[in-house]
Structure 1
C-alpha cells in the first residue's frame, strides 16, 4: 500500500503544481519572455545532435545553428529528408534509451535520412508545470533551426517530420506554429502527447492539426482504470489513434509497482507509469521495423462502441495504418478517433473480428458469460469471453469484438459455449422462459439462429450456421460448433420463413418479427 500511496502522492503533487502554475500563468509567461529578451541562456540550453549510429548521446554529432561548418562535420545531407526527435519531461535528467532506438529504427527503415535528436533536458528537468511552459521555448528553438536550414541549405518544409513524445509532442506543435500556411511542416507525430496543463486548452496552446500539413497522434495512457491520466485524451491531429482505448496497455500492470519499487526504489513508480506512456513509442518503432505486421485502426465514436464490434469498416477512409505508414488523409474535421487492439509485446499486431450473433431469446446484455473460439485454415484461437451487446432490438442481433494474436487464415468454423461464470438463477431472469405445451418450463437455453464474422484486416464477411437445424439450442456448460453456411453468398431465409420455423418450435412470440436483411448489413 505504501507504493500505491506514493504514486497517488506523486500525481497529486503534479496536479497541485499545475493548478498553481495556471493561477500564475500570466506572470510566468511574462517572466519567460523577459528572460529571453535580456539574456538568451534558454535558447542555448536546447542542443541539436545528428544521429549517426550508437545508443549514447556521446555517439552523436553536435550541430550548432548558424554555424554551417558543423553541418559538414556531421555529414548532413541536404538532399535527404529530415526527422527530428523531441523527448519529453524528465524526472532524473537522463536521456532515455528509447530516443536512440527510435533513431536507429528510422535509419534502418529509410537509410537515406537525416535524424536529429533534440536535447532540452536542462529545460525539461524541472517541476512539471515549469517544463510544460518551457516547451514553448523548445518549439521556438526548433523553428529557428529549421528556418536557418531552409535559408542556407534550401531545406523544404515538406521534407520535415517532427516526432515528439509527451511534452515533446506539444513542443513539436509549438515549432510548427511558427510557419505560415504556405510553408507548413510536412508532418508532426505526437507519441502520447502530455495531458496535464494541455487537456481542453485552445489549439494554439497545444499540439493541433494547424501545426503541420499532417498531424498524427498515438494515445496510450490518456486514462487508466484507477483514474490516472498522463497523456491527453482529446483529439489533437488529423489522425488520432487510441490503442486499447487509449487506456493502460496490455503487458503494463499497476501491480508491477511493488516489484519495481523493491528493485529500483522510488524510481520504480515512474518506471511503472512509463510502461503505458511509452507504449506509443514502441508501437511506432514496430511500425518502422515490422512492415509485414501493419496495425490497422478503425474510426469509431468511442472505445465502448469499438468493443461492441460496431466499427470495423474501412469504407470512406474509416480505417488507417498506425505509425510511420499512416495514410495522410484528412477527414474534414471529423473528431472521431481511430481505435484498435494490440498485444502485450512486440510484434503488437492483432487481428480484429466483428462477431454478430442472432439470438432469439436473450432479453438483456450478458457480460463474460459467453465464449467464442475461431478455427481457420492456418490455426485456431483460444476461447475468448465476449459481451453480447444488443445492436438491433427488433431482430435480436448482438455484436461483440474479438482480437486474435495470430493469423488464422480462411475461417472454417466457430465454436460457442456458455462459460458458467454467472449463476443459473441470473440466467433464468435474462433468458426468456419458454413454456411447453404441457405448461411446464423448459430448461434454460440460449437459442442461436446464425453467426456472422467480419475480419477487420481483410474486410471479408463469413456466415456460420448450426450443423443440424435452422436454430441451435445452447444449454449451460454446453459447446456447439457452427460451420460455414452452405449458401453464404445468397441472402438468408426470408423473415417470414425464419419466423415460421421459430413459431413452429414455440421459440418466439408472434410480435417478435425478425429482420434478417438488417442483420446482413454493418
Structure 2
C-alpha cells in the first residue's frame, strides 16, 4: 500500500510539473504580447501597467524558489530551454542532505564528518588547511562510499599528505534524472558554503582546492566554483570533470553546465561522447581549458567487446553484462584518472585539429615549434606544464590512445615510412597489404605491431604516417620492419600473377610522444619481401626522397575499398560478433570515409585528364565540392 501511495504521489508530482511548465509558457507568451502592445501605443517607450507588473511578479514567484542561506533557484531561461525541456527546482535542504567525509593519512579508513557551519566538527577532525584539499563527488544514482571513490581516495593519499573530502549526496542523486539534474545546483552551493566556511574559520587557500566530479558530479563541481566566484567573489583552484553528464547539459548556456570560468583551471576527460540516441552518457562539447578525448572520446578501447564475450566475463549475469556494455565508456573516465595519480607511465596527450588526424599520425606531438603546450598530461598531472600560470586559451582539444585493459596508459610512437622513389621502385609499382613493426628498445622489445589498421594500397614515393602504442621500451635503437602482401579476392587490380610483391623503403622515422626527439632509421631503398623481417638501424644520413607526389587514381580507388567497408559494417551490427550499440555508430563513418576518398581522387583525375560522365556519382561529388559556397 505504501509503495502504491509513493507511486501515485510521484505521478501526481510529475503531472503538476507538466501543468506548471504549460502555465509558464502561456504566461510568458501573454507577458510578451502585453509588452509589445505597450511599445506600439507609446512610441516604443515601455510603460508597465499594473496588470503586466502583477504578471511579472506572479511569474517570478512561480519560476523561482528560495532556500534561505542557500539562495534562490529559477527554472526560467537559461535553466529551461530546448536542450533542457524539463526544468525542476532542487529538493529542499531539509529533505536532501549532503555529507562531507574527510580522509587524511591520519585517518585513511575511518572518516571524519565535516558539518556545514560547525567549527567544532572541523576542529575535532584531522583537517589541515596548509595541505592540498581534494573534493571528490559522484554522479547519478550513486553514493559517497562507491568503490571507485574509495580507490581514488586511497591513491591520492598514497601520492601525498592531502585532505580528501568525499561529497556524498545520495538523497539527491536518485531518479527521476531531471530531478537529480536540478539537485546538483543546490549540492554545488552547499559545497561552496563549506569551502567558504573553511576559508573564513581555518584560513583555507581556495587555490589549493581541487574538485573532481564524475558525470553529474562534474557539474556539481562547476556549480561549487560558480557560486564562489559569482556570489562571494572567490575563486576555486582547479576542477576536473570526468565525463560530465550530457543529458540536460549539452549545448546549454555556460551558466547551466561546467565551463572554464568555474575555476582557475578546468580540465575535462571525455570518454562517452556519443549522442544520447546512441547510448552516449557523457558530454562531447568542450567544457574546460583542456579537453582530453582518449580514443576519440566516444568509444573506449576494450568497451566494444562482443556481447557474448561480455556475458562470459560476467559469468552469465545478464544484468551485470548489460550495465558493463552500457556504462563501460562512461566509467573509463574515472578509471583513467585513478591510474594517472601514481602511474610511472605519463598519459601524454597531443593537441590536434581532429581525432582522425591524430589517429592517422598527422600531428607532430611534442615537436611543435613555439608551443610548449602542444602536448600535455591527461589526468592528475594535467596542470603541471602550466607551472601555476592561468591558461591563456580555452577548449584546447588533446587526444590520446589507451590500452584495452589495465594498465590503460601506453607509450605513444608516431611512425613515418617513406617508400622509395627510385626507378626500380616505380617499375615494381604499388601493392595492397600491411606494414608491421617490432621496436627494439634498451628495456625490451615491443610485440609485433600492425601499423595500418586496415589493409592499404601503398604506392612508391609516398610518405605514410601511423600511430601505435607499446609498453615502456626505453631508448629505441632499431626496428624490425615486416611487409605483408594482401590481395583482395574480389578485386583483380590487387592480384600479382607473374611477379612477387616487393616494397622498397627509403627510411623509417620514429617519434615518441613526450620526448622532443625523432629517430631516423635508414632502409637504404632496399626491397622488403612478404613476411620477411628486416632490421633498420640509425645512420647519420639517408638519401632524400623527392616530395610526396600524392595519391594516384588507382591508389585512391583501391583504398576506398567499398566491398571491404561494407563487410566491416555488416560485422559491426551483427549482435553475435560485435557490440551493436557501438557498431551502429560506425556505419556513418564508413560512408563518410568513402566520400572523403572520392574527394581525394580529384587531383588524380585532373592530372590524368580524365573526363567522367555526368551521371557518375564521383563526378557529382567532386563538382559539388569544387564549387564551394556561392558568392553574391
CA RMSD of aligned residues (A): 3.9
1:211 pairs with 241, 262, 271, which one?
Answer: 262
1:301 alignment counterpart: 353
Counterpart check, 1:231 vs 2:262: no
SS of corresponding position for 2:479: strand
Using the alignment, how far apart are the partners of 2:361 and 2:166 within structure 1? 40
SS of corresponding position for 1:178: helix
For residues 30-51 of structure 1, the C-alpha deviation after alignment (integer angstroms, 9 at most, x for no partner) is 8795263699435851121212
Using the alignment, how far apart are the partners of 2:135 and 2:66 within structure 1? 26
Using the alignment, how far apart are the partners of 2:276 and 2:196 within structure 1? 44
Using the alignment, how far apart are the partners of 1:313 and 1:479 within structure 2? 31
Count of aligned residue pairs for this structure pair: 459
Q: 1:55 to 1:300 in 2, by over 3 A?
A: same
1:335 alignment counterpart: 395
Q: 1:27 to 1:173 in 2, by over 3 A?
A: farther
Q: 1:124 to 1:40 in 2, by over 3 A?
A: closer
For residues 158-194 of structure 1, the C-alpha deviation after alignment (integer angstroms, 9 at most, x for no partner) is 1111111111001101111113386210001111111
Using the alignment, how far apart are the partners of 2:430 and 2:64 within structure 1? 60
Using the alignment, how far apart are the partners of 2:473 and 2:61 within structure 1? 57
SS of corresponding position for 1:270: helix
2:528 alignment counterpart: 474
1:401 pairs with 464, 467, 480, which one?
Answer: 467
Gaps of 5+ in 1: 1-16, 434-439, 500-511, 513-522
Q: 1:125 to 1:276 in 2, by over 3 A?
A: same
Gaps of 5+ in 2: 1-13, 26-59, 73-90, 550-606, 608-632
Using the alignment, how far apart are the partners of 1:447 and 1:417 within structure 2? 10
Using the alignment, how far apart are the partners of 1:25 and 1:206 within structure 2? 25
1:199 alignment counterpart: 250
Moved more, 347-356 or 178-187: 178-187
- TM-score between the two structures when normalised by the length of structure 1: 0.77
**Cα drift, residue 229 of structure 1:** 1.1
2:477 alignment counterpart: 411
Query: Is 1:365–1:388's contact at 8 Å kept on the other side of the alignment?
Result: no
SS of corresponding position for 2:151: helix
1:323 alignment counterpart: 379
2:333 alignment counterpart: 280
1:165 alignment counterpart: 214
Summarize the alignment of residues 134-213 of structure 1 with structure 2, pairs less than 5 Å apart: 134-180=183-229, 183-213=234-264
For residues 124-180 of structure 1, the C-alpha deviation after alignment (integer angstroms, 9 at most, x for no partner) is 012222212211111111111112222222222111111111110011011111133
Q: 1:235 to 1:430 in 2, by over 3 A?
A: farther
Query: Is 2:442–2:473's contact at 8 Å kept on the other side of the alignment?
Result: no
Query: Is 1:297–1:320's contact at 8 Å kept on the other side of the alignment?
Result: yes
Query: Is 1:225–1:247's contact at 8 Å kept on the other side of the alignment?
Result: no
Query: Is 1:343–1:405's contact at 8 Å kept on the other side of the alignment?
Result: no
Q: 1:41 to 1:308 in 2, by over 3 A?
A: same
Q: 1:125 to 1:26 in 2, by over 3 A?
A: farther
Q: 1:160 to 1:485 in 2, by over 3 A?
A: closer
Q: 1:424 to 1:464 in 2, by over 3 A?
A: farther
Using the alignment, how far apart are the partners of 1:88 and 1:498 within structure 2? 50
**Cα drift, residue 264 of structure 1:** 4.5
Query: Is 1:78–1:155's contact at 8 Å kept on the other side of the alignment?
Result: yes
Counterpart check, 1:451 vs 2:508: yes
Moved more, 266-275 or 398-407: 266-275
Query: Is 1:241–1:337's contact at 8 Å kept on the other side of the alignment?
Result: yes
User: Which has the higher Rg, Structure 1 or Structure 2?
Assistant: 2
Using the alignment, how far apart are the partners of 1:25 and 1:348 within structure 2? 49
Query: Is 1:261–1:269's contact at 8 Å kept on the other side of the alignment?
Result: no
**Cα drift, residue 271 of structure 1:** 3.8
1:96 pairs with 104, 129, 146, which one?
Answer: 146
Using the alignment, how far apart are the partners of 1:225 and 1:276 within structure 2? 13
Query: Is 1:353–1:402's contact at 8 Å kept on the other side of the alignment?
Result: yes
1:387 alignment counterpart: 452
- TM-score between the two structures when normalised by the length of structure 2: 0.64
